[in-house]
Amino acid sequence: MFDQIAIEKQQTQATFLAKVYGWMALALLVTALAAMYVANDPKLIETIILNRVVFWVLIIGEVGLVWYLSARVFSMSPEKATMLFFVYALLNGLTLSVIFLVYDIQSIGTTFLITAGTFSAMSAYGYFTKKDLTSFGSMLIMVLFGVIIASVVNMFIESTMLDKIITYVGVLVFVGLIAYDTQKLKNIQEGNHDAETVKKLSIMGALTLYLDFINLFILLLKIFGGRKDD
């Protein structure tokens, strides 16, 4: 009987994470297509990238949208949560189009593959490890706040050395967070949730892993990316 319960639990976890990865993959596709579309349209580049006001409005809008979705997801319908998630992915694609102007396409592709491989390995570790990553994850979140503060400070002092430290520490943080967030999502399904709640949880899980992936990709691009002006 206990074996049957364990099997059912594993199946439930696997089904839930499959939904999470599915939403995440679709969001990454939306982001990539939006970024490439803007990068290949001179008028959109001038409107979105070269116009600082528009660019920063989009950035602020993205942050606000993530905050709103995270805070209100359980009070909205699954359909609205899904829509807002993909609106965020689209907006993120508009701002990320700048990477196609800075880095050559080959290095972007290579970095994406490195990110995907790292993500897969760490997510698998988070899923299969028997070690509780809760305390490890809490420490990483504190370090992440430090990285964010240091990044803001470096916007004013423009230190090359500090930028390198932030980049490498950031990579380590997000590599660890991928494993931590995957384990956290795996354990979410230990409770009894109705279908609507499960869908909302899958959207939030997809958003969490999407952010881990995108941030890791951007940081690795700073390390491995070949700039067009080099």
Q: How far apart are CA 136 and CA 170, in angstroms?
A: 15
Give the mean model confidence (pLDDT) for residues 21-50.
94
Q: Which residues contact 121 (CB under 8 A, 6 or more apart)?
A: none
- The pTM for the full model equals 0.92
pLDDT digits (tens, 9 = 90+) for 35-48: 999 999 999 999 99
Give Cβ neighbours of residue 153 (< 8 Å, ≥ 6 apart).
162
227 φ, ψ (degrees, to nearest 5): -75, 145
pLDDT one-digit tens code per residue, 104-149: 999 999 999 999 999 999 999 999 999 999 999 999 999 999 999 9
For helices 160-188 and 105-128, give the axis angle rounded to 10 degrees. 40
Tokens of 144: 């992440």
Burial of 45 (0-12, 13-18, 19+ CB in 10 A): middle
Q: Which of 47, 24, 52, 51 is nearest to 37 (CA)?
A: 47
Model pLDDT, residue 225: 84
pLDDT of residue 8: 65
- Mean pLDDT across the chain, nearest whole number? 90
